[in-house]
Amino acid sequence: MGRRDMPDAFAARVVAGLRRRLEREHGGNARALARELGMSQPPLWQLLNEKTRPSFATAEALARVERLAVQSVLTGPRELAAALAREIGVSEVAIQRVLDEPEESDLRPTLAYVDRMRAFALVLSNDATPPRA
């Protein structure tokens, strides 16, 4: 995989992260965001308007300014929650139910999604249990 061959899901997360940062931290000032990321404004504009795909270097720059690990930029909290939920034995049906929910504009912490997955698993297990006589 080349430096610019970023999977679609990762590319979408980087662009969404750039847009959030642009609005939240820079009030829509693309020049300020470009300067913060160490890039010029025209390539940033192309990324934001999906004329080009982000590179891993762009993901790294976004992670640096957000003070996050690159993995957190490329995989959202729901995907990290799914990995954690699998480790603690949450059913795949419950995990998938949360992953299939529409993406929220305001990200929740990873553990909030784990809790949601566990709650769905509990509901599903109660539905599968025959009622007591």
* pLDDT tens by residue, 71-115: 888 887 888 899 999 999 999 999 999 988 887 766 678 899 999
**pLDDT tens digits, residue range 24-68?**
999 999 999 999 999 999 999 999 999 999 999 999 999 999 998
Ordered by start, the domain boundaries in the chain are: 8-74, 77-128
Q: What is the pLDDT of residue 1?
A: 41
Q: What is the pTM of this model?
A: 0.65
- Is domain 8-74 in CATH 1.10.260, yes or no? yes
Question: DSSP string of the chain?
Answer: --TT---HHHHHHHHHHHHHHHHHHHTT-HHHHHHHHTS-HHHHHHHHTTSSPPPHHHHHHHHHHHT--HHHHHS-HHHHHHHHHHHTT--HHHHHHHHTSPPPSSPPPHHHHHHHHHHHHHHHHHHHSPPP-
